[in-house]
Structure 1
Amino acid sequence: MKFLSFLLLILCCCLPAQSQTQDAWVFFGDKEDVATSIANPLTILTQEAIDRKDLHGVPIDERDVPVNEDYIAQVKAANGIAVLAKSKWMNCVYVQGTQANIEDLLNLSFVTEVEYADKDLNFMPGPRNPSEKFEEEHPSRIVYDYGAATNQITMLNGDFLHEQDLTGDGMIVAVLDSGFPNIASIPAFSEVVSEGRLLGTYDFVGRQTDVTGTGSHGTRTFSDIGGLLDGQFVGTAPEASFYLFRTEFSPTEVPVEEAYWVEALERADSLGVDVVNTSLGYQDYDNANYDHSYEDLDGQTTFAARGANHAFDKGMLLVTSAGNDGNGFGTVATPADAPGVLSVGAVDASGNYASFSSRGPTVDGRVKPDIMAQGVDAAVITSSGNVSFSNGTSFSSPISAGAITCLWQFRPETTNAELMQIIRESASLFENPTDEMGYGIPNFEEAYGVLQNLSIEAQQLDANFALYPNPVHNQLMISFPAAEDTALITMTSLTGQILLQQKVVIADPAISVAHFSPGVYILTIQASQKSNTFKIIKQ
């Protein structure tokens, strides 16, 4: 009887672990019609996305092909399984179910692996194997009157970029956050809406276009990039175009939010987004079994970090809050740990380190955060439309992201990796980075000078054909590579309509664009052995 009682006790202890709901990623082995999709990229990507990839030499590959919907349907039909999200880059779905039901999915021929959010389960024998996430709001040759935003912009010399007519025009920014209430009715966003620069919205939590969400965090972070109330408040890229994506459910902290976030990155890439701002971070969850340890935050392990690195590889530039755990966990959360992310810490109005700002280095010794910006008493627009002030790296990140967008507008052919390094090298502590401040506060006037002074000869070697100036007012000049003296120029709209075709020779390399309306165009240069594509901004 004693042995039987002991056996029953063991069963009672084990059954809950097997029967309680678990979260997991389920990976698939293949996709359908890969070659056909890659050969016909407009079936899986927008023209804007294709143009951006062409501009930076980013290949369209199997990662761009959607997840097999039949596979997803079979997983959904499995006993006790709920599918909450999917990732085409990693060819997987995020599911909830009991451990037994999830492991049964391994019997499906196309399922190759299961990865549990509870990392302890990934090492169990079997067939295979924040603290507060948001900050408290504290009410407390273009020349703008920046009003309350003056200090946070001039600290970075973002006003210098605006004076060069670099305000984000023609660039596309995605903001990923928890909710964006009242965007359509707030005066600070009226120009974004009326000029058609709010390109789209989507709620990956609720699977709907309404991104009101939970809380007003997204409205405030978005304002630091795209808001404009001249004389009261100006964002760092007030003339950019935007997608707003809700990936967060504020009342809880659960790992499916990492999956929603990656899914939003994939959507952003397919839509041709240039810069992504994320004022979110993940380290501890409501269920402590899902927490990320310091050892997990190596930039390669978490699902969010893996997704961020894919996004970087696809040519986008990701700007992310370092986190607000300087007085708690200590180091940056994920995805700020990813090498493919430019992570931003917080300083006060005088440029001093804010004690709440998460520090570096990463477990593998990399400098994080990358740069710093104002995150103490940062000016924002609230969901009621008023100017107010907030604390947190959630605000230093979009302040930086907007300035980066304006800088990239100047030389959009620059790759994301090149631009990130130029920004780091412009920062105040680049020669002597610290754990608290990373490379320090960037100087966007200095970064602009580096881009401006890149030699045309170097461009010839590195990018074959080159052109300048860009942005352009009236006349583009073509720089020819060695062994080429004639080329065919084709200029199209973003929708692919051919607007200009002409032959250009090395003896007369000028192209007149004076008759084109201001906007963004795609210019392709074709010669006997070389072909290059550029995004042109006509002013």
Structure 2
Amino acid sequence: MKKWLLILFLISYGLDAQDWHAWVYFTDKPNVTSSINNPSTILTARAIARKARHGIVIDHRDVPVNQQYVAAIKNATGISYKAQSKWFNCVHVTGAELDLRALENLSFVDRVEFADPSKSILSTSQDKFTRMSSAPFNYGNASNQIVMMGLDNLHNQDYTGDGVHVAVMDSGFPNVDRMSGFSQLRGQNGILGGYDFVDRNATYADDHFHGTWVLSTMAGHITGQFEGAAPNASYWLFRTEEAAQETPAELSYWVAAAERADSLGVDVINTSLGYLAFDNASESLTYNDMDGQTSFASRGANVAFEKGMLVITSAGNSGNSTNHPYISSPADAQGAIAVGAVDASSQRTVFSSIGPSFDNRIKPDLAAQGGNTAIIDHNDNLRTANGTSFSSPLLAGGVACLLEAFPNLTPQQIRSALEQNASQSNSPDNLLGYGIPDFGLLFQTLSQLDQSTKEVKWHVVNQHLHLDKELYPKIQIYSIQGQLLIDAENSGRIVLTDLSKGIYLLKVDESGKWLKIVNR
């Protein structure tokens, strides 16, 4: 049978000299058990601590790829190496189809999956930039976009992202090492480092300007004229985007950067990029692929979320397209918070990509200002720009500030709290999702929970909440917005199965004692 298959391949593809993108999956990894038992050999102390804080188990996906396998692939005839992924135990390569299929004969190769789904028996597989406290803060040009989200309330409580690590994955960051708009960030050692996953070197402060513009919405500062959303957070800058061309390799660069972020203990990822159409149309993604499980980058975003990172991504700028008005990858991922764009009046912009995902989930998830957003450009000029490329980092900056205030909240708890405390929380749609979050109100609610008594004894068994009815004869459960959902007396037991996933408030008596319930 193998001989007949080989003959068919030669007949069909023998004259095809085109290079194709593909993922080569390996059969195993080295030293998995010992690496997991000694996590300091594969992860930084910060990454280990973050996982422990959120109860996330270190598993085989944290173990690096076998570099002997990688070297063998690099040396294979006709193969060009692009990137590797420990989460998926694979490498991304390009080559002629016959050369790629020949890799399946290697003993350590499990399978080869082509970016062009027509070439894979088991395939999984507009513009990519999704186009374009201390003393009271003087936000200057950035005032509207900060106040719209109530983020000034966190800043005035001195929560500005300090101690939170953010990875920005983009097309390049020219002049961040010399611009006055980032002098405060550099002065506080807020740029932790970076890497160019496209050219595979440590030079990230060049290439396309898009990343610099994005970073300014979070970390820029010009006294009296501009303030970013998280000016005291610390940032890793990763280039994952090749602006000159569109290829599936960018999906793998993205996953490689997310894996690096995880190993470094990053808390928040912002990616103002979206992938759909590639230069080779047969390798392009379609709306059918926007199910959160097909695109390699979307699958990576899901793992990043599982690993304890909040993944914030732009929804896309194709909302007024007649062919594809929908979100792109990785915004379709279940683990990604896709951010749509509103204008200065909190109205949806016409370009903001819409949902639902192909499997009918609400997308985008949230929204922030992406129309006439104030930025600092790569030449140190104050200006405005349009795109979900800028609504995404604004929200990511707000999340960084929230994490500083409540570092023990898990990514799922943060996400649920944002969705339950946004302008459309009671009526989400596929234009703006749950709407614009109100960080000020959310901070007040979570602060009250933090101050609540720890003396109340309660436990949950089989989705039933149990308390001592002699001590607590009256029990009330509220939504995080303050809506009374359950009111019970002399029960001692409340059924939670009717509550959707999210964060709820439990009031146990009239003395003002509140508890937080997270229904998973």
Taking structure 1 as the reference length, the TM-score comes to 0.80
- Match 1:339 to one of 331, 334, 337: 334
Q: Does residue 1:106 correspond to 2:101, yes or no?
A: no
Q: Work out whether residues 340 and 368 of structure 2, in 8 Å CA contact, stay in contact via their aligned partners in 1.
A: yes
User: 1:316 — aligned with what?
Assistant: 309
Q: Does residue 1:135 correspond to 2:128, yes or no?
A: no
User: 1:484 — aligned with what?
Assistant: none
What amino acid is the match of 2:306?
D
Alignment partners' CA distance in 2, 1:200 and 1:342? 25
Inter-CA distance 398–462: structure 2 relative to 1 (3 Å threshold): farther
Alignment partners' CA distance in 2, 1:163 and 1:359? 34
User: 1:81 — aligned with what?
Assistant: 79
Alignment partners' CA distance in 1, 2:167 and 2:139? 23
Q: Work out whether residues 217 and 229 of structure 2, in 8 Å CA contact, stay in contact via their aligned partners in 1.
A: yes
Inter-CA distance 120–336: structure 2 relative to 1 (3 Å threshold): same
Inter-CA distance 460–178: structure 2 relative to 1 (3 Å threshold): farther
Inter-CA distance 421–183: structure 2 relative to 1 (3 Å threshold): same
Displacement, 1:135? Answer: 2.7
- Match 1:200 to one of 193, 204, 225: 193
Alignment partners' CA distance in 1, 2:264 and 2:303? 15
Q: Does residue 1:251 correspond to 2:251, yes or no?
A: no
Displacement, 1:209? Answer: 1.1
Inter-CA distance 459–171: structure 2 relative to 1 (3 Å threshold): farther
User: 1:268 — aligned with what?
Assistant: 261
Displacement, 1:452? Answer: 1.5
Alignment partners' CA distance in 2, 1:459 and 1:122? 57
Inter-CA distance 204–373: structure 2 relative to 1 (3 Å threshold): same
Q: Work out whether residues 177 and 278 of structure 1, in 8 Å CA contact, stay in contact via their aligned partners in 2.
A: yes
- Match 1:90 to one of 78, 88, 91: 88
What amino acid is the match of 2:30?
E
Inter-CA distance 306–129: structure 2 relative to 1 (3 Å threshold): closer
Displacement, 1:77? Answer: 1.6
Inter-CA distance 460–29: structure 2 relative to 1 (3 Å threshold): farther
Alignment partners' CA distance in 2, 1:419 and 1:458? 25
User: 1:330 — aligned with what?
Assistant: 325
1:362-383: CA deviation from partner (whole Å, max 9, x where unpaired): 1111111011111011011111
Alignment partners' CA distance in 2, 1:447 and 1:374? 19
Displacement, 1:37? Answer: 1.0
Alignment partners' CA distance in 1, 2:339 and 2:445? 21
Displacement, 1:214? Answer: 2.6
1:94-148: CA deviation from partner (whole Å, max 9, x where unpaired): 01111111111111111111110111111499xx993453534xxxx33110000
Q: Does residue 1:362 correspond to 2:338, yes or no?
A: no
- Match 2:29 to one of 28, 31, 49: 31
Alignment partners' CA distance in 2, 1:235 and 1:453? 27
User: 2:54 — aligned with what?
Assistant: 56
User: 2:421 — aligned with what?
Assistant: 426
Alignment partners' CA distance in 2, 1:226 and 1:292? 33
What amino acid is the match of 2:235?
F
Of residues 263-272 and 430-439 in structure 1, the stretch that sits farther from structure 2 once superposed is 430-439
Q: Does residue 1:389 correspond to 2:387, yes or no?
A: no
- 1:118-517 → structure 2 map (5 Å cutoff): 118-123=116-121, 130-131=126-127, 133-136=129-132, 141-142=133-134, 143-328=136-321, 329-454=324-449, 455-457=452-454
Alignment partners' CA distance in 1, 2:359 and 2:202? 40
Alignment partners' CA distance in 2, 1:13 and 1:123? 15
Aligned residue for 1:168, secondary structure, equals coil
Displacement, 1:34? Answer: 0.8
What amino acid is the match of 1:157?
G
User: 1:485 — aligned with what?
Assistant: none
1:144-183: CA deviation from partner (whole Å, max 9, x where unpaired): 1000000000000010010111000111111000010011
Of residues 190-199 and 49-58 in structure 1, the stretch that sits farther from structure 2 once superposed is 190-199
Displacement, 1:449? Answer: 2.3
Alignment partners' CA distance in 2, 1:459 and 1:152? 40
Displacement, 1:457? Answer: 4.3
Q: Work out whether residues 114 and 129 of structure 1, in 8 Å CA contact, stay in contact via their aligned partners in 2.
A: no
Aligned residue for 2:146, secondary structure, equals helix
Q: Work out whether residues 140 and 227 of structure 2, in 8 Å CA contact, stay in contact via their aligned partners in 1.
A: yes
What amino acid is the match of 1:151?
N
1:368-420: CA deviation from partner (whole Å, max 9, x where unpaired): 10111110110111111111110000000001100111011111100000100
- The root-mean-square deviation of aligned C-alpha atoms, in Å, is 2.2
Displacement, 1:194? Answer: 1.9
Alignment partners' CA distance in 2, 1:101 and 1:456? 65
Taking structure 2 as the reference length, the TM-score comes to 0.83
Displacement, 1:79? Answer: 1.1
Alignment partners' CA distance in 2, 1:15 and 1:429? 56
Alignment partners' CA distance in 1, 2:284 and 2:199? 24
Inter-CA distance 458–293: structure 2 relative to 1 (3 Å threshold): farther
Alignment partners' CA distance in 1, 2:394 and 2:122? 44
Structure 2: gaps (5+ residues): 1-8, 461-520
Aligned length: 448
User: 2:513 — aligned with what?
Assistant: none
Alignment partners' CA distance in 2, 1:460 and 1:266? 40
Inter-CA distance 129–85: structure 2 relative to 1 (3 Å threshold): closer
Displacement, 1:456? Answer: 4.8
Alignment partners' CA distance in 1, 2:122 and 2:40? 43
Inter-CA distance 281–129: structure 2 relative to 1 (3 Å threshold): closer
Q: Percent of counterpart pairs with the same letter?
A: 48
Displacement, 1:459? Answer: 10
Inter-CA distance 72–231: structure 2 relative to 1 (3 Å threshold): same
1:281-323: CA deviation from partner (whole Å, max 9, x where unpaired): 0011111111111111001111011100000000000100000
Alignment partners' CA distance in 2, 1:274 and 1:258? 21
What amino acid is the match of 1:165?
D
Alignment partners' CA distance in 2, 1:456 and 1:72? 54
Alignment partners' CA distance in 2, 1:118 and 1:13? 16
Displacement, 1:49? Answer: 0.6
What amino acid is the match of 1:52?
R
What amino acid is the match of 2:294?
T
Structure 1: gaps (5+ residues): 1-9, 464-539
